[in-house]
Amino acid sequence: MTDRDVMQYDVVIVGAGPAGLACAIRLRQRNADLSVCVLEKASEVGQHSLSGAVIEPGPLEALLPDWLDNPPEICVPAGRDRFEFLTAKRSIRMPTPPQMHNNGNYVISLGGLCRRLAERAEALEVDVFAGFAADDALFDDDGKVIGVRTGDMGIERDGSPGPNYAAGVDIHARHTILAEGCRGSISKRLIAHYGLDQDRSPQTYGIGFKELWQLPEGRAEAGLIKHTIGWPLPRDVYGGSFLYHLDQDRVYVGFVCGLDYPDPLFSPFEAFQQYKHHPSVHALLEGGEIISAGTRALIEGGLQSLPRLEMPGAMLIGDAAGTLNVPKIKGVHMAIRCGSDAADFIADNDTSAGFDAYFRANAGGRELRKVRNIRPGFKAGLWAGLANAALETVAFGKTPWTLDNHADWSSLDKLDERDDNGPEKVARDLPPRDRLASVYHAAIHHEENQPVHLKVRDTSICATRCAVEYDNPCTRFCPAGVYEMVDDGEGGKRLQINAANCLHCKVCDIKDPYEIIDWVTPEGGSGPNYQNL
Ligand code: SF4
């Protein structure tokens, strides 16, 4: 039995994203006697944070009224909005949906915001431990969560302790707050363990790409916010692009695809690169260079897929729960609001109803209720989805029905069920050349000799059933080329996992059609090092 240090806190928060840090700050604002710590798997706060991000400042202002006195490194007031439908050659201006009006909002880097929030938390004597990945939950004899264990460091690839071995620490707390972000590994296990998603619609996700570009002088219009739908996405794929113009001739370029896409040959990464070659986008980016790039999953199921937010001893907040407002394409204000709500719930020692009821009755729950039917409406295709979105918007979400979601792993057609070859592709000349070149811009670091953190429970399926039924879609949906089918030396194929390239996006954990991939936390401090995404 390994000897482990034990640390005791009133509250342990897993994840230094906007939800976790807002919760920590609010807890200490409400009750300076509470001891609070935050665990972050990145070696520095903000390195794993990525979001669009145009934020609604309301919940941040409520938490920290003076936040603009020391803003994140990138923080640009929103200017004009544009919404366009793309064909292969043209961009057609459309009315901007009401949810996507951004007057009064700010374009920020989420990594920069998280660094500012961590500074404020530390000023309130919160212990923020970066480089420590929470590995699993701890339980007492009654099955209640009593904290988390951080991952061991210095484990060799074969699982044995190496020369730099250091055992993980047990952190015990009265309250464990899971703010791990989308598809958090401990959250996933606890949702299943406690059946928190029973009687809920299945959760559904998207994949989001983002690049920060430096453009030639005079090309960006600071504050311009542009969204597109249409080309190059097929009609049965939900998604679109964003272009957020920053100061100093920088621009955020991003692309989101729903992970409920049906074509096993579809490549989200390639769709993003194709989009950048639309005439209207290519003209903007040509001659520029990528400063930083990354990918993450988005949690899109909304209210009907929101699991119960509490379990004995623990709570789920922010993207770990699923509080993203999809029609607005905004999650940061919701995460901050949810984290603040969790802190108020604990500080008030509210025992009248659980945190789940508390959140749903508050502003965050009401906001999700209003838009609950918009994302699932796109399951019927782009134009039906837009018509449904218009109806839901004029009805303020008061339509008397709630549409269901479907699990993304179950949405792929088999190869023999499809007769199309996908959309025609245009030639590409903008960077990155391929997925490996894109990974370079994420500045990834993983200790090569650590155990593979992508657990495929049955690799025999890969070269047999999966190759025949889907042509190994993991080789296309992974944005970093982590999964490859290579010669096995005996005339067949085998799966090779290039785990050191992993961007921690969790898409494989979500989209694999056999549900046999588990993403678990690698050694603390591993992963991407996003610069201002
Ligand atoms: Fe994302 Fe999985 Fe690929 Fe890592 S291996 S980058 S988590 S899809």
Give residue 365 CA to ligand 1 midpoint distance, Å: 31
Residue with the nearest Cα to atom 1 of ligand 1?
505
pLDDT-based confidence at residue 1 (cuts at 50, 70, 90): confident
Mean pLDDT for 50-60 is 97
Structure confidence by residue, pLDDT tens digits, 315-348: 999 999 999 999 999 999 999 999 999 999 999 9
Asked if residue 96 is part of any domain, the answer here is no
Give residue 503 CA to ligand 1 midpoint distance, Å: 6
Q: What is the dihedral of CA 123, 129, 135, 141, to 10 degrees?
A: -60
Give residue 475 CA to ligand 1 midpoint distance, Å: 10
Check pocket membership of 240 for ligand 1, CB cut-off 6 A. no
pLDDT-based confidence at residue 199 (cuts at 50, 70, 90): very high
pLDDT averaged over the chain? 96
Give residue 478 CA to ligand 1 midpoint distance, Å: 5
Distance between alpha carbon 45 and the CA centroid of its chain, in Å? 16
In this prediction, residue 168 carries a pLDDT of 97
* Domain coverage including residue 168: 6-69+112-202+302-370
In this prediction, residue 424 carries a pLDDT of 80
Report the SS3 class of residue 511. helix
pLDDT-based confidence at residue 174 (cuts at 50, 70, 90): very high
Check pocket membership of 506 for ligand 1, CB cut-off 6 A. yes
Structure confidence by residue, pLDDT tens digits, 466-491: 999 999 999 999 999 999 999 999 99
Asked if residue 310 is part of any domain, the answer here is yes
Mean pLDDT for 372-385 is 94
Radius of gyration of the chain (CA): 22
Check pocket membership of 502 for ligand 1, CB cut-off 6 A. yes
Asked if residue 259 is part of any domain, the answer here is no
Distance between alpha carbon 269 and the CA centroid of its chain, in Å? 16
Give residue 296 CA to ligand 1 midpoint distance, Å: 9
Residue with the nearest Cα to atom 7 of ligand 1?
506
Looking from the CA of residue 519, the nearest atom of ligand 1 is: 7
What percentage of the chain has pLDDT greater than the value 70? 99
Sheet holding 75-77, edge to edge: 54-55, 106-108, 75-77
pLDDT-based confidence at residue 116 (cuts at 50, 70, 90): very high
Asked if residue 180 is part of any domain, the answer here is yes
3-state secondary structure 176-224: EEECCCCCCHHHHHHHHHCCCCCCCCCCCEEEEEEEEEECCCCCCCCCC
120-126: list long-range contacts, CB under 8 Å, 24+ apart: 120/21, 120/25, 120/64, 121/21, 121/24, 121/25, 121/28, 121/36, 121/38, 124/24, 124/25, 124/28, 124/29, 124/32, 125/28, 125/32, 126/24, 126/25, 126/27, 126/28, 126/36, 126/37, 126/38
Q: What is the CATH number for 38?
A: 3.50.50.60
Instruction: Report the alpha-carbon distance of residue 263 to residue 112 in Å, rounded.
Output: 36
In this prediction, residue 448 carries a pLDDT of 83
Asked if residue 479 is part of any domain, the answer here is no
Looking from the CA of residue 507, the nearest atom of ligand 1 is: 8
In this prediction, residue 447 carries a pLDDT of 84
In this prediction, residue 310 carries a pLDDT of 97
Structure confidence by residue, pLDDT tens digits, 223-248: 999 999 999 999 999 999 999 999 99
Give residue 34 CA to ligand 1 midpoint distance, Å: 37
In this prediction, residue 419 carries a pLDDT of 85
pLDDT higher than 90, residue 349: no
Asked if residue 157 is part of any domain, the answer here is yes
Structure confidence by residue, pLDDT tens digits, 7-46: 999 999 999 999 999 999 999 999 999 999 999 999 999 9
Peptide bond into 232 cis (omega under 30): yes
Give residue 10 CA to ligand 1 midpoint distance, Å: 34
The two three-digit tokens of residue 361, written as one number: 């009755």
The two three-digit tokens of residue 65, written as one number: 């009224």
Q: Which of 48, 506, 507 to mutate to test the pocket of ligand 1 (most atoms within 8 A of CB)?
A: 507
**pTM for this predicted structure:** 0.97
Please name the helix (run of DSSP H) or strand (run of DSSP E) that holds residue 503, with its range, or none: none
Check pocket membership of 503 for ligand 1, CB cut-off 6 A. yes
**DSSP letter string over 35-103?**
-EEEEESSSSTTTT-----EE--HHHHHH-TTGGGS--SSEEE---EEEEEE-SS-EEEEPPPGGG--T
Give residue 409 CA to ligand 1 midpoint distance, Å: 15
Give residue 184 CA to ligand 1 midpoint distance, Å: 13
In this prediction, residue 247 carries a pLDDT of 97
| Domains identified in the chain, total number | 1
- Among 432, 532, 515, 522, which residue's Cα sits nearest to residue 480? 432
Mean pLDDT for 56-66 is 98
Residue with the nearest Cα to atom 3 of ligand 1?
478
pLDDT-based confidence at residue 3 (cuts at 50, 70, 90): confident
The two three-digit tokens of residue 226, written as one number: 């542009």
How many of the other CB atoms lie within 10 Å of CB of 395?
12
- Among 64, 58, 36, which residue's Cα sits nearest to residue 179? 36
In this prediction, residue 353 carries a pLDDT of 86
Give residue 505 CA to ligand 1 midpoint distance, Å: 5
Looking from the CA of residue 506, the nearest atom of ligand 1 is: 7
pLDDT higher than 90, residue 298: yes
Looking from the CA of residue 454, the nearest atom of ligand 1 is: 5
Q: Which neighbouring-strand residues pair with 295?
A: 209
In a 13 Å sphere around the CA of 517, the CA atoms on its Cβ side amount to 25
Mean pLDDT for 341-363 is 92
Asked if residue 129 is part of any domain, the answer here is yes
- Among 266, 206, 234, 269, which residue's Cα sits nearest to residue 470? 266
Mean pLDDT for 299-311 is 98
In this prediction, residue 420 carries a pLDDT of 76
Q: Which of 183, 510, 519, 521 to mutate to test the pocket of ligand 1 (most atoms within 8 A of CB)?
A: 519
Structure confidence by residue, pLDDT tens digits, 398-430: 999 999 999 999 999 999 999 877 678 999 999
In this prediction, residue 503 carries a pLDDT of 98
What percentage of the chain has pLDDT greater than the value 90? 96
Asked if residue 248 is part of any domain, the answer here is no
Instruction: Report the alpha-carbon distance of residue 180 to residue 526 in Å, rounded.
Output: 15
